Structure formats: structure tokens, C-alpha cells
Structure 1
């Protein structure tokens, strides 16, 4: 069965909500799946505040430290589509169990090592587990909740997905006040164990017993293409965007993804049918999520350095400082279904993207002496925009697929998030680095000190004196260009969504 076939075949799905099955405790299912989701989403950002502690204990190079952070998103993004298909075929509950086991076990091992290479490998293993978990959470909700309750359940899921990174930062900042970076991994273990127990107790199994065999060729092409593309983009700030290795890697990734599209168009049972993007809502949802998380994770990467290295905040204070975003994100996400029901999806969705663009532009206007209220006001705006835009985008993607392929649809939704986040960190991080270097004056410094100061604001701060002060100003100058670029991406997404949904027929669930 292809992803574009009608829902008639969904009757063959093993659905725990069926009349002859055991009763489903929907609120507990929602609680458990959101806990599992929060566990893997928080891991995307939680280590950012622990990097100074990691550097001291592991003695890792700057490149190694970058990969300890980035390899999680790389593996996560590259495996989401095949992991979603495996969940469809063998069971979404089973995917949750295996994924949470890998995630928890890898986190436990990571807390026991100080070797940076081993940490990189274990963070990659966490990415494998997360790729199994994240699509299974959303597809379990859409596959077990009645249609009347599904939109509100998805709004809760979207709120958790959006706020999870902020919660991860706060939890890590709190733990670092009392312990070391190992506590971040041990927290992962506790959350994974709790989610695993809840899955075994309350989450029903759902799968398509008649699903075709896994499209191995498509899975390999998608994994290789996404892996090459994301790897090259993440490495670009270090190697240089114009270097042959970077350009060749990006070209190879794009070529492999083009080959994936051609392969899938010729398959009778594709991993992801490219014809799905003819559905305007599906295309709009995918693009919107990609751009939202491009801006969001780029902002997280920049703002945590601004708070700790420019303003001089501790890890805990920096984490608490970004909480205003969650204050508006959660209630706006819960309110969105009512707004959509009354006004349609287009208005709240586009308004949310416009608010995100405005918030990023406001953040780009900060300087070293800006009062905190300006940061908090921008974060309130950013949270409201994310809450308004995320739910309709997520619903648009999942509603484009039949129930029996919900895990693939969920994987596409999550792939957009991961790929957007990885690209946001890489592209905006590269712009930040270029802006910082371009504005930093190292005249009169010895060559080694000059190169150290140019490598990062943290290194310049260790030199101190006028160099450290000037470096903070240079960082703010680079940050301004970076966040304004993120604002531009969000604004372009708003225009694209408005155009894709401009016709009445495009606003229906499967228009």
C-alpha cells in the first residue's frame, strides 16, 4: 500500500481502539507518549549548557565537543524515515520499547566515560533510540485517539515537542549547580525508565500486519543522503563553506536525495511517496516545521552563549532566563485548536510564523547592556508564535496519511524538526562565527593569542582585558546578523504557507 491510497485499508490495522480490543485509557496514553517525547526532545539541547564542564573533564577539542552535541541530531534525522516504516510494520509500541531501551542504556554508559570519542559514539546511539521513539509517540496518539479528541491530543504533543528543549536546558542548568555533566545523562536514564514502564503498562500496540516489506533501497538512499547533507552542513563552520569537501558533501547529499525521489516514484510500496507533496497542507506543514526549528535551534545555540559569555550569567540563570518562551507556548498551543475550528488553519498558522519572525528580529536587536525585560518580551512573543504555528503544521502532516502509515507521517514531521534544527545550528552558527571574526580586532596580539581569540568568545574571555571586552561586542555584532537571518527564514515560511493555503480546496484535510 502506498501512502496515497485511501483509508479503506486502515481497517486492517491492529488498532487498540477497536471495539473488540481492551479499553484504551487515552489520558494515560497521552501522558506516557508525551513523557517519551520530552525525554528525546530535551536531549537535543540539554548538553549545550554543560559544554564548559564537558571541556574541562574530557579534554576534548572544539571539534570533538561540537560533535558530542551534533551527532545526536545527525543520526536522529538520518534514521527517522526508516525507523517510522519499521514501526508501521512491526508495531509502534514495540518501537517505543526498543527506542527507549537504547536511549536509556546509551545514556547510562555515557555517564561512565570521560573519553570524548566514546561520548560521540554513545550520543549517536541515543540518536538511534530517539529516531525510533519520536515518530512512534505521535503515530500512537493519532492511531488510538478518536477523531473528536485527536486534534487536542496533537496540540498537547506539539506543545511538549516545542517546550521540551527549553525544559531540557532548565533541567541541565539546575543539575549543573549541584553536580557535573554526568547528571544530564543520568536524568536521561530516569526519564527513559519511567517512559518505558508507562509504555509497557498503558500503551496499546498498533501496527499494520499487511504492511509491505521495508523498502531497503529507499531507506539506504534516504539515510545516506540525509547523513551526507547534514554532516556536511554541520562541518561547514569548521571546514569552511567554500571548501571542496563541504561543497562536495552537500552535492553528494542532494544527489542521493534526488536518487531517493526517483527510486520512490518507481516503487509500488515506497518508504515515502514523493507525490504526497502535491497535497498543499502536507507540503505547507513540512516546510513550516522545517523553518520553525531552523530558527528555534539556531536561536538556542546563539542565546545560551549570549547569556553566559556576554551577560555573564551562570548556567542555571541562563536556563531560567529562557523560560518566558514556555509561558506563552503551552497555552497558545492548547488554544490553537479552538482558533482553527473557528477561523480555519491558515490565519493562526500564518500569524504564528509572523510572530516568530518578529521575535527573532527583536532578539537580534539586543546588545551587551540590554535590560532583561527586552529579552523576556521577545521570548514571550516567540513562544506565542511557536504555539500558534506548530499544532496546525503537525496536524496537516499527519492528516495527509492513512492511519496504517501514521508512523511514516510522524517520521516526516519529526524529520522536518531534526533537519531544521541541524541546519539551523550549522548555518546560523556559521554566520555567527563569520560575523564574530569579521568584527574582532586582534591588532597587537601575539599570533597564538590572536588565533585563540578568533576561535571563540570563550577563548577571548580567558585572555581578558580589552580583548575580552571587544570580543563581547564582536559577538553581539555577529549575533545580530544571525538572528535577523533566522527572522527572514520564518517570514519566508509565513509567505509560503499563506500561498499554499490560499485556495479553499487546499485547506481541507486531504485537499
Structure 2
């Protein structure tokens, strides 16, 4: 017997079924801008940090907040946005999210100060939180179960495409226009996506959503925001033992524990906690969080390696990251074929071990290493990512009934974003602490007051060295040496995290892909528990 929540017979209207691939194209366009925005910003960091009129003169701390204001709001509201999509209708939520994201992009492009940029990036995060889970939820409602793995593979490939287009687009824009163009480019894409969505995309919702769990929603938002804020603050201070950081993280964890306890007792929970009793579902979500932890930390420091140590321009840096994205674009849609042959466990474990190997390979990079070695590392890393993202996304989305697609997508994306925020904060903190300890004794020729800020990052040290002229030359080589050492230490930490992910995947993911009927029977306890 199979649960009514996931019926075996087709139930998607014929008119929707016929245009399902066009709908997927529109969803990928919406997803493109959300992912594109962060990858564009990576190559613009250095430009925004330069003084006006070229940039905004943002400090290292302000740059981190420009990146993390988006992540903080995005991660904090993803789950709530998924729930609202299930209840109000995914198309409505998607359209509203795109409008807010487009408005935030236009305002960010015209920011007059780093503080304004941080505020408008937060507004963009609010819009993005409503866009991302809705794209995957709509996908699950326009494709039948047997086509879902293929569609999710193409969706995951779209993430790779956005990662590829972002840095190159950012580099081209920065070569020809002002720094704000990296945000303004989102506006025309949003307008096209809105028009196509109104025309093509059907609305869908959970037919039996029950009452909205206001207490659960409030606890999830407060808990996630406090946790991610504490992590970001720890990374900014390069000190996770700071009392304010410990208090914020502890408060966030306490609120999230209260959220779990409340949901277990509620007769109309936002999320049925029994979803996590499914070990496969829990392992897949953990794998996504851990791999994004490693990936976000690496892309953060690799930009400084290519631009600050190697001297490449933003456009050249974007082109250097092409292999990472190309590999995802090539392999993500095909990963399901490998899964069919070898099973989810073997493919995901192999993908994670490949990511571990590429992170370890970062320790071989020096200031004069042939650049093609970095290209091979990026390509292999993208290959590993493609063989993790697609299978785990399919496992997560098919573990829950179709009516709960928004919640499943939001859970997946929440863990991804929190993992990414942890990666930037924790690995950024490791990078900062290792860099400072390496360069500190070389800063003695500077006045005492300037030493602390000069040791904050390689950009800060190089900025001071440039002002000193010939006397600053020893500082340049010291900065490069210290950064390379810090990058090697950070890469090994990321490799350790990815290795933990490979162990979890090996122990808990299924050895082979079950047949569709078996998959539906397996999901019955989870689906039934949501009713």
C-alpha cells in the first residue's frame, strides 16, 4: 500500500505536463539571479574596498557584512518562506520574492556608503529567501516522480551555470562600468523572469495546510538568525571564545532546541520532527550542509589568492573559476545515470572524497605554482560537487510527500545556507587568525596604532605597504608568505569537514537506488506522519 500523499498514478494536469520543461527553464532563470548575485560579489570585493569614487572604501569587516547580511536574512527566513509557499501558493511567493530581490538590487547599486550597501543586501536576502525554496517546490509539482531526478539534475546544473556566469559577468561589468553594475544587472533578469512566470508557471500549494504555526515560525527565525549572527561575529573577530559570540551562539542553539521541543508537542507543527527519524533524509541534509561549509570557505579565500597573491584582475579571476562551474554544468544533469548504476551511497561518498582530495591539493599552491594546476583542482572539485548535490537533492525531495515540497526544499536550502555561513565564518576565522600570527612580527616597522588594522587581512597589509613605497617592499613578500600559509591551514580544515561528511554519507545513505514503488513505500511513514 502506498500513502495517498505520494500516489503512484500521474496526477499533474496534462496542460502543465506538456510545458514542464519550459517551466523548468523559467525556474532556473529565477534561481540564476539568486546564485549569480553571490558569485558576482566575490570578484567585486576588492573593487568595493577601494576608496571612492572607484569603490566605497569598505573595510574588511564591512565587506564581510556585505556578504553576510544577505546570508543572515536568507538563512533565517528560508524555512518560513517554504512554509508560506506551501500555504499561500508557491507562484505567489515566488513572484513576491522576485519583486523584493529586484528592488533590493536596484537600491544596492546606488548605495552611497558601506552601511547602505549592507542594508540593501539584507533586503536582497529577504527576496531570495522566498525565491529559492519555491523554485524546487514548483519543480516537484510539475514533474512526475520518474522524471524528478532528471529535472533536479538540470536544476543543480543551473547552479553550476550561475557560478560560472557570475564571476565572468562581474569581471566584464567592473572593467567597463561602476561597481554598482554588479547589482544592477539583476534588474532586467528579474523583469524577464516575472513576465515568463506569470505566463507559464502554474500555482500549487498544500491542500491541507492546517493552521499556521506562528510560535514555531517565530522560534525558527529567531533561533537561526541568532545562530548565524553569532557565527558571523566570531569570524569577524577571529575569536569564537569572545563572550558576546558564545552568548549569541548559545542563545540561538537554545531557541532552536525550544523550537524542536515545541514542534514535537504541537498539533499543527511547521515541520514534523519525525522527518528526521528517516536516517537517509537526515544524512542527505547533513551532507549538503558540510559540503557547502567547505565550498564557501574555499571560494572566499581563492579569490584573494588569485587577485592579491597572483595579481589577476576580477575578469581573469572569473575566467579562472570557469572549470569549477563547467564541471558542475557537465556532470550535475548526468549524475542520476551514475547513481542508477552504482547507487546513492557510492556516488555521494566518492564525490565527497574527491572534494576532500581537492581541498588537500590547495596546500600545494604557492605564489609561482603554474596556474593550470589550480584549474585542474577547480574542475575536480566541481565534479565532486555535482555528484553530491544532485543525488542528495533527489533523496531529500522524494523523502517527503509532494504537498510538503516547499518545506523539504526550504529545509535543504536552510541547511545549505547555514553550512555556507559557517564555512565563511569558521574558515574565514581560521584564515584570519593564521594570517595574523604569520605576519604580526613583520609589522614592527609600523606605528603601534596601525599594526592591528594592517594585520587584519592580506589586502590591509598590501594597502599599508603601497603607502610606504620602497620601504614597504619587505611587507609585500611577508604578506604573500603569511597568506599562503594561512590558506594551506584553512584548506586542511575544510578537508576535515568534508571527510566527516563522507563518513556520514557512507554509513547512512542507501547502497542502491530503490525502484519507484519501493521508494514510495519507503516514504510512507514520513509522508503519513505529516497528516
- Calculate the TM-score normalised by the size of structure 2: 0.91
Out of 470, 475, 482, the position equivalent to 1:467 is 475
Out of 57, 76, 79, the position equivalent to 1:78 is 76
**Residues 261-304 of structure 1: CA deviation (Å, up to 9, x unaligned):** 10111112221222211112211110111011111111110000
Separation in 2 of the partners of 1:110 and 1:16? 43
Decide whether aligned partners of structure 1 residues 115 and 277 sit closer, same or farther in structure 2, where only a CA change above 3 A counts: same
Q: Cα offset for 1:24?
A: 4.2
Separation in 1 of the partners of 2:450 and 2:306? 24
Separation in 1 of the partners of 2:11 and 2:38? 31
* Residue number in structure 1 paired with 2:380: 381
Higher mean alpha-carbon deviation, 300-309 vs 360-369, is at 360-369
1:18 aligns with 2:13: yes
* Residue number in structure 1 paired with 2:292: 293
Q: Contact conserved, 2:58 with 2:114, CA < 8 A, in 1?
A: yes
1:496 aligns with 2:504: yes
| Mapping 1:327-342, distance limit 5 Å | 327-342=326-341
Q: Contact conserved, 2:352 with 2:499, CA < 8 A, in 1?
A: yes
**Residues 192-234 of structure 1: CA deviation (Å, up to 9, x unaligned):** 1121111111111111233112211111111111100100111
Unaligned runs of 5+ in 1: 1-5
1:127 aligns with 2:125: yes
* Residue number in structure 1 paired with 2:529: none
Q: Contact conserved, 2:64 with 2:236, CA < 8 A, in 1?
A: no
Decide whether aligned partners of structure 1 residues 165 and 421 sit closer, same or farther in structure 2, where only a CA change above 3 A counts: farther
Q: Contact conserved, 2:161 with 2:326, CA < 8 A, in 1?
A: no
* Residue number in structure 2 paired with 1:43: 37
Decide whether aligned partners of structure 1 residues 28 and 365 sit closer, same or farther in structure 2, where only a CA change above 3 A counts: same
* Residue number in structure 2 paired with 1:281: 280
Q: Cα offset for 1:503?
A: 6.8
Separation in 2 of the partners of 1:18 and 1:314? 50
Q: Contact conserved, 2:87 with 2:205, CA < 8 A, in 1?
A: yes
Higher mean alpha-carbon deviation, 89-98 vs 36-45, is at 36-45
Decide whether aligned partners of structure 1 residues 201 and 434 sit closer, same or farther in structure 2, where only a CA change above 3 A counts: same
Decide whether aligned partners of structure 1 residues 7 and 100 sit closer, same or farther in structure 2, where only a CA change above 3 A counts: farther
**Residues 338-392 of structure 1: CA deviation (Å, up to 9, x unaligned):** 1111222111111111111111111232111111111011111101101111111
* Residue number in structure 2 paired with 1:98: 96
Q: Cα offset for 1:475?
A: 0.4
Unaligned runs of 5+ in 2: 466-471, 524-531
Q: Cα offset for 1:453?
A: 2.4
* Residue number in structure 1 paired with 2:224: 226
* Residue number in structure 2 paired with 1:3: none
Higher mean alpha-carbon deviation, 157-166 vs 142-151, is at 157-166
Separation in 2 of the partners of 1:434 and 1:202? 51
Q: Residue 332 of structure 2 aligns to a residue in which SS?
A: helix
Q: Cα offset for 1:502?
A: 5.9
Q: Residue 147 of structure 1 aligns to a residue in which SS?
A: coil
Higher mean alpha-carbon deviation, 495-504 vs 316-325, is at 495-504
RMSD in angstroms over aligned alpha carbons? Answer: 1.9
| Mapping 1:108-507, distance limit 5 Å | 108-239=106-237, 240-440=239-439, 441-462=442-463, 463=465, 464-501=472-509
Q: Cα offset for 1:148?
A: 2.3
* Residue number in structure 1 paired with 2:528: none
Decide whether aligned partners of structure 1 residues 140 and 496 sit closer, same or farther in structure 2, where only a CA change above 3 A counts: same
Q: Residue 204 of structure 2 aligns to a residue in which SS?
A: coil
Decide whether aligned partners of structure 1 residues 327 and 162 sit closer, same or farther in structure 2, where only a CA change above 3 A counts: closer
Separation in 2 of the partners of 1:386 and 1:17? 31
Q: Contact conserved, 2:164 with 2:326, CA < 8 A, in 1?
A: no
Q: Cα offset for 1:119?
A: 1.7
- Calculate the TM-score normalised by the size of structure 1: 0.94
Q: Residue 311 of structure 2 aligns to a residue in which SS?
A: coil
Separation in 1 of the partners of 2:161 and 2:430? 25
Q: Contact conserved, 1:215 with 1:270, CA < 8 A, in 2?
A: yes
Separation in 1 of the partners of 2:152 and 2:496? 28
Q: Residue 199 of structure 1 aligns to a residue in which SS?
A: helix
Q: Contact conserved, 2:102 with 2:186, CA < 8 A, in 1?
A: yes
Separation in 1 of the partners of 2:11 and 2:29? 20
Separation in 2 of the partners of 1:201 and 1:472? 53
Out of 4, 17, 22, the position equivalent to 1:8 is 4
Q: Contact conserved, 1:39 with 1:191, CA < 8 A, in 2?
A: yes
Separation in 2 of the partners of 1:101 and 1:331? 31
Separation in 2 of the partners of 1:163 and 1:490? 23
Q: Contact conserved, 1:16 with 1:204, CA < 8 A, in 2?
A: no
Higher mean alpha-carbon deviation, 178-187 vs 127-136, is at 178-187
* Residue number in structure 1 paired with 2:27: 33
Higher mean alpha-carbon deviation, 137-146 vs 208-217, is at 208-217
Q: Cα offset for 1:164?
A: 2.5
Q: Contact conserved, 1:94 with 1:205, CA < 8 A, in 2?
A: yes
Separation in 2 of the partners of 1:198 and 1:91? 17
Separation in 1 of the partners of 2:65 and 2:177? 23
Separation in 2 of the partners of 1:9 and 1:346? 26
